[in-house]
């Protein structure tokens, strides 16, 4: 797999919550560090995601927003 994105984090799928149109997938990339991704349900099915399987969080963004209260 070759990608232009530089932020590729391997991890383990820890949770999958499937909905009719989107699926929320949580990947633990380090102990206690979980990244959530909302993808299409069709995409989740095509990737054959299962809890406990290895997956990669690929982060490609032109900006990162921060907020404080």
pLDDT at 5: 76
**Is position 33 within any domain?**
yes
* Tally of domains in the chain: 1
pTM exceeding 0.85 = no
Nearest Cα to 31, choosing from 46, 18, 12, 45?
12
Query: What is the maximum span of the chain, computed from C-alpha positions, in angstroms?
Result: 40
**Is position 29 within any domain?**
yes
**Is position 67 within any domain?**
no
**Is position 65 within any domain?**
no
- Kindly indicate the confidence band of residue 6, based on its pLDDT and cuts at 50, 70 and 90: confident
CATH number, domain with residue 30: 2.40.50.100
Q: Which domain holds residue 14?
A: 7-59
Read off the pLDDT of residues 13-52 as tens digits, 9 standing for 90 and up.
999 999 999 999 999 999 999 999 999 999 999 999 999 9
Nearest Cα to 16, choosing from 69, 67, 66, 43?
43
Tokens found for residue 16: 């999958």
């Amino acid at each position: 797999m070759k990608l232009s994105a530089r932020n590729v984090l391997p991890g383990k799928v820890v949770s999958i919550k499937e909905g009719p149109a989107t699926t929320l997938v949580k990947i633990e990339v380090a102990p206690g560090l979980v990244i959530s991704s909302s993808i299409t349900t069709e995409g989740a099915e095509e990737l054959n995601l299962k809890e406990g399987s290895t997956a990669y969080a690929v982060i490609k963004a032109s900006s990162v927003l921060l907020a404080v209260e």
